[in-house]
Structure 1
């Protein structure tokens, strides 16, 4: 099975997306981290998304969610000596982590909620009115009307 993808044709036909292709290639090479904690990204509508991270054993005071420009950073660290249990087997990973997500333009974090070991972060695309597409009416100016009239006069004279 092929595990690499050549982005060269796309790089040639796009301008300004170098950072995006670099991120994709980094993730495909496995340099994007160790995969902890596991997460899902779901589209919940045309302009709404949710990132869900599996963070069992963490409380809301152990986790920090920071949105800065186009990057979302989720950091988790448990205070030292909080767990006094003696484990015979500990299969649930509870270790410090830092997970980064690159956000597209106009994506804003609406909120975060921790429930049953899952951290849900709600995102929404909010495009400013100045950036939304708008329909431009096509008008006919005086010079355009003259050209149309001239063409119709030429046809009647030719007939």
Structure 2
């Protein structure tokens, strides 16, 4: 029996990119830092919240690249001349990627109490019924 890939199934016309999207998501390399939440705030809106304590607004960048929301953080090293007896607060850079479906738009980003909130909205597609006329050949 031949196994069909998801993007090549005969009933899924036009979904060739779906398999590549799943592979790209699996390979995104997101580690566990920084921790994040994804919540549904209404039927068509979402909020991603990242714990970015120690990062200032200028240390963070938010971009949309190839249908992916990419959030990057880079702190400047301010440890010069300081002697730490214990350093448990991470001062490292990060990159978090979230693949966005078609029709999902990135709204505003809010920094609040060490948490970065990014709001997303999904456009509601209009239901379209199209009748195709059959002509004689």
The TM-score bracket by the shorter chain reads 0.7 to 0.9
Paired residue for 2:20?
19
Matches within 5 A, 1:1-159: 11=6, 13=9, 14=12, 15-16=15-16, 17-23=18-24, 26=26, 32-81=29-78, 85-127=82-124, 131-134=125-128
- Flag structure 2 segments of 5+ consecutive residues without an equivalent: 132-137
Alpha-carbon offset, residue 136 of structure 1? 6.3
Change in 2 beyond 3 A, CA 1:136/1:78? same
Paired residue for 1:154?
none
Alpha-carbon offset, residue 116 of structure 1? 1.1
Structure with more helix by fraction: 1
Change in 2 beyond 3 A, CA 1:125/1:83? farther
Change in 2 beyond 3 A, CA 1:40/1:75? same
Aligned equivalents of 1:123, 1:85: Cα separation in 2: 41
SS of residue in 1 equivalent to 2:21: helix
Q: CA RMSD in A?
A: 2.7
For normalisation by structure 1, the TM-score amounts to: 0.65
Q: Which runs of 4+ in 1 moved over 6 A?
A: none
Structure with more strand by fraction: 2
Higher CA-based Rg = 1
Instruction: Give the structure, 1 or 2, with the largest relative contact order (CA under 8 Å, sep 6 or more).
Output: 2
On the 8 A contact 1:56/1:92 being kept in 2, the answer is no
Alpha-carbon offset, residue 115 of structure 1? 1.0
For normalisation by structure 2, the TM-score amounts to: 0.74
Change in 2 beyond 3 A, CA 1:92/1:125? same
Alpha-carbon offset, residue 86 of structure 1? 3.6
- How many residues of Structure 1 are paired with residues of Structure 2 in the alignment? 123
